[in-house]
Structure 1
Amino acid sequence: MESTETTSTQIYSKHFIPLESNPEVFTELIHKLGLSKSLSFHDVLSLDDPELLAFLPRPVYALILVFPTTAAYEERIDQEEAELLDYQGSGVDEDVVFFKQTINNACGLYAILHAVCNGDAGRKIDDASLIGQLLQAGLPLVPDKLALMLEHSEELELAYAEVATKGDTEAPAHAEDEVDFHYITLVKSHTNSHLYQLDGDRKRPVDHGPMAVHEDVLSDKSLDIIRSMMASEGNNLNFSLMALVEEG
């Protein structure tokens, strides 16, 4: 399954081939970025079956949801965004690290960055790694400048390109080709333990409120959010979910 950001009037200066929704591809990319080999992505095979959920290693650091971008979804997001101000937070003291998306068809990359740079996963980043160096340089910047720094990173583009054509489905012939799926990320803040929904196509992080200290991101609160999104799309079965976990 491949994805892109929602249809938008935004004009992009750079286009990437979209990532397949594939845990092996996502895992390979985070290792290229310099994350610990103990971190990996797994498919979440059910939202309701305790036995299937029990197969996932715990704790779960982040969830990445892939879903179809329908007209109804886009209309609902436009209504929610209409009264919001653009996020302007920066620095290490922010509750989350938020990346504004400026590269077309790269919502999978931004979902991965949101997953690994927030919560307890963010504490496992080596400062000398590619993502560690990008964070050190970028966190003091306002979101627009942080976005441009990522857009202009040749090392990040190279790491992405090395995995973007992998997977079980054929990649689009051209990076500019639009496809109909989108990625968002759910993370638990390392500062206030709130659950955040992160989507670089939106104006700002969505704060879903506090979680219990002992809860990881595979919580009832997270699963209820995903169930609600699916229900709003008529229980469309073209949703898929991946979990960022630590093994061993």
Structure 2
Amino acid sequence: MNENGNWCLIESDPGVFTELITNMGVKGVQAEEIYSLDYDFSSLEHIYGIVFLFKWENGQDSSQPEVSPTDNFQGQDILFINQIVQNACATQALLSILLNSNDLVLGDDLDNFKDFIVHLDPYSRGLALTNSESIRRVHNSFATQQLIVNDNPNDSKNDQNEDLFHFVAYIPSNGGTYKLDGLSQGPVRVHDPKNSGKSRLGWINDAIYDIKKKISSIGDGSDIRFNLMAITKDCRIRYSSRLEQIELDLKNLQVQLEQLSINNENDSSRNLADSIHDNISKLIEEKLVIESKIDNQNRKLQNYSIENARRKHNFVPMIILLIEELARKNLLQQAIDNAKK
């Protein structure tokens, strides 16, 4: 096993994370990209956790929690996994959310994995994750195809000059907000002093407070290379439920209209009929809006699927054939010169 344990780098993208979730066997959950720290999280469905990607600086010691866990916090209440290999942090952050969400149907693979590691210590859990063939296979399905592989170990020093990025997760638990960083010793409780905690999304305010602190501590605080995603319930679940209720309400209103048609000569009957027609119109309008939202969500997921297929496809043979064909027709040097211009 190499130093990265044969785990590939993962792109921080909602389409990638949504497919990772689905391919792990979890249904009805998606990743939603957050474009601003002032985002209105109330517009999302139930939020299970937040994934935060940030630049990891050389010399930074993530093994020591920035804020020590509270004395009365029992570590076994949260399933925490130590990170053993470098490139597993994306899937590890995702699992930190999924495995600590009690109202999710995880599927057989993750259920079995959770049952296996729940009584292990964090380091042993990390070893179990590193050696989980099923989880690693889903993770590595997004491995980037390399055009050139450098077999010279002396050139590995160049990698030290590249920026490193790290994923961590934030979850609500036991009335508090916890950061789960596999490079730390355990779950870290975070809290915004200005957050009363009374809001349904109060834990998110705590998480955003801690994320802002982290961003401001990177370099001079002007580095904008970070990414934020919310792991949420698939919005189509609520939309579909509402559509079923609308259909039922429309049927009931139609029955009422048919009953009124027997005696529709008096004013009260006509007024009631007008009211029913108004309600039917409003429900039909709402139905069209919801169907449009479902269509938009389906198109977004379809675009995710197309983008992911392109990420996974090996374009190297096509590129090599193209170069060979250009060279055969003596057009390669011209193409290179045009590219330089």
What interval of TM-score do these two structures reach, taking the shorter chain for normalisation? Answer: 0.7 to 0.9
Matched, 1:23 2:9: no
Secondary structure at 1:184's aligned position in 2? Answer: strand
CA positional deviation for 1:207: 1.3
CA positional deviation for 1:213: 6.5
In structure 2, runs of 5+ residues without a counterpart are: 151-155, 238-341
The amino acid that maps onto 2:232 is V
Asked whether the 8 Å contact 2:79–2:99 carries over to 1, the reply is yes
2:21 and 2:202 map into 1 onto residues whose CA distance is: 19
List aligned pairs for 1:5-154, cutoff 5 A.
12=3, 14-36=5-27, 38-48=28-38, 52-53=39-40, 56-71=43-58, 74=60, 77=62, 80=65, 94-118=76-100, 121-126=101-106, 128-154=107-133
CA positional deviation for 1:12: 4.1
User: Alignment identity in percent?
Assistant: 24
CA positional deviation for 1:220: 1.7
CA positional deviation for 1:131: 0.9
Larger Rg: 2
1:15 and 1:217 map into 2 onto residues whose CA distance is: 39
In structure 1, runs of 5+ residues without a counterpart are: 1-10
CA positional deviation for 1:59: 2.2
1:79 and 1:140 map into 2 onto residues whose CA distance is: 23
1:110 and 1:237 map into 2 onto residues whose CA distance is: 23
Give CA-to-partner distance per residue, 1:38-95, whole Å, 9 cap, x none.
Answer: 21001101112xxx525841322111111111247x15x46657x99xxxx77xxx22
CA positional deviation for 1:33: 1.1
| 1:194 counterpart (176, 180, 192) | 176
2:181 and 2:172 map into 1 onto residues whose CA distance is: 14
Question: 1:46 and 1:103, CA in 2 relative to 1: closer, same or farther beyond 3 A?
Answer: same
Give CA-to-partner distance per residue, 1:187-213, whole Å, 9 cap, x none.
Answer: 011xx1210000111111111259846
Asked whether the 8 Å contact 2:54–2:226 carries over to 1, the reply is yes
Secondary structure at 2:77's aligned position in 1? Answer: coil
Give CA-to-partner distance per residue, 1:1-28, whole Å, 9 cap, x none.
Answer: xxxxxxxxxx947131110001111111
Between 1 and 2, higher relative CO (CA 8 Å, sep ≥ 6) is seen in 1
Asked whether the 8 Å contact 2:197–2:203 carries over to 1, the reply is no
Matched, 1:226 2:211: yes
1:232 and 1:13 map into 2 onto residues whose CA distance is: 27
2:168 and 2:175 map into 1 onto residues whose CA distance is: 19
The amino acid that maps onto 2:18 is T
**CA RMSD between the two structures:** 3.3
1:172 and 1:196 map into 2 onto residues whose CA distance is: 41
CA positional deviation for 1:173: 5.7
Question: 1:199 and 1:215, CA in 2 relative to 1: closer, same or farther beyond 3 A?
Answer: same
Question: 1:30 and 1:208, CA in 2 relative to 1: closer, same or farther beyond 3 A?
Answer: same
Secondary structure at 1:97's aligned position in 2? Answer: coil
CA positional deviation for 1:111: 0.6
With the length of structure 2 as denominator, give the TM-score of the two structures.
0.56
Secondary structure at 1:245's aligned position in 2? Answer: strand
CA positional deviation for 1:146: 1.9
2:42 and 2:147 map into 1 onto residues whose CA distance is: 30
Instruction: Write out the 4+ residue segments of structure 1 that deviate beyond 6 Å after TM superposition.
Output: none
Aligned length: 216
CA positional deviation for 1:214: 5.0
The structure where strand makes up a greater share of residues is 1
Give CA-to-partner distance per residue, 1:159-205, whole Å, 9 cap, x none.
Answer: 21223449xxx89968x96751111110011xx12100001111111
